[in-house]
Structure 1
Amino acid sequence: MGVVEDLADKLAFDTIAAAKELGDDRLIDDVSKVLEATSSTTQEAFMTAIRVRLAEERGRKFLEDRLARGRAARDKG
C-alpha cells in the first residue's frame, strides 16, 4: 500500500475501535468529514478501509457463528 492507504487504514482501525469503545457510530462519519475538509483522497481511502474492515468483521462473525452451530449439531448427534 501507499502512504495514503497506510495512514487511512490505521486511522480507520483506530476510529472503529474508538467508536465501539464510546458506543458512538457517528464517530466514523465525523472523522470522515474532518478528512474530507482537508483531503478528499485521504477521506476516500479512509472510507474504503472502514468498509473493508467492517465487512471483514461481519463476515468473520458469520463464519464463527456458522462453525459454532455446526460443531454443536455434530456434538449432539
Structure 2
Amino acid sequence: MGVLEDLADDLAQDTLAAVEETGDEKLIKAVADAIGASSPTTQEAFLTAVRIRTAAARGRKTLEDRLARARQGNAPAQG
C-alpha cells in the first residue's frame, strides 16, 4: 500500500476499535468529516478501509460460526 492507504487504514483500525469500545457508531462519520474538511481523498480512503475491515469482520464471523456448527455436527442445510 501507499502512504495514503496506510495512514487511512491505520486510522480506520483505530476508529473501529474505538467504536467497539464505546459503542458510538457516529464516531466513524465524525472522523470522516474531520478528514474530509482538509482532504476528500484521504476521507474516501478512510471510508474504504472502514468498509473493507467491516466486511472482512462479518465474513470472518460467518466463517467461524459455520465452522463451529460443523465441528459440533450441526452443519447447515445445503442451499
Give the TM-score range, shorter chain: over 0.9
More helix as a share of residues: 1
In 2, Cα distance between equivalents of 1:53 and 1:23 = 17
In 2, Cα distance between equivalents of 1:20 and 1:64 = 19
In the other structure, the counterpart of 1:68 is 68
| Aligned-CA RMSD value | 0.9
Is 1:55 aligned to residue 67 of structure 2?
no
Count of residues in Structure 1 that have an aligned counterpart in Structure 2: 74
Q: Which consecutive segments of 4 or more residues in structure 1 shift more than 2 A?
A: none
In 2, Cα distance between equivalents of 1:66 and 1:2 = 35
**Structure 2 segments unaligned to the other structure (5+ residues):** 75-79
Q: Note the C-alpha offset of 1:36.
A: 0.7
In 2, Cα distance between equivalents of 1:38 and 1:17 = 24
Q: Which amino acid aligns with 2:10?
A: K
Is 1:32 aligned to residue 25 of structure 2?
no
**Share of identical aligned residues, percent?**
61
When the two structures are superposed, what TM-score results if normalisation uses the length of structure 2? 0.91
Q: Note the C-alpha offset of 1:19.
A: 0.8
In the other structure, the counterpart of 2:77 is none
In the other structure, the counterpart of 1:17 is 17
**Structure 1 segments unaligned to the other structure (5+ residues):** none
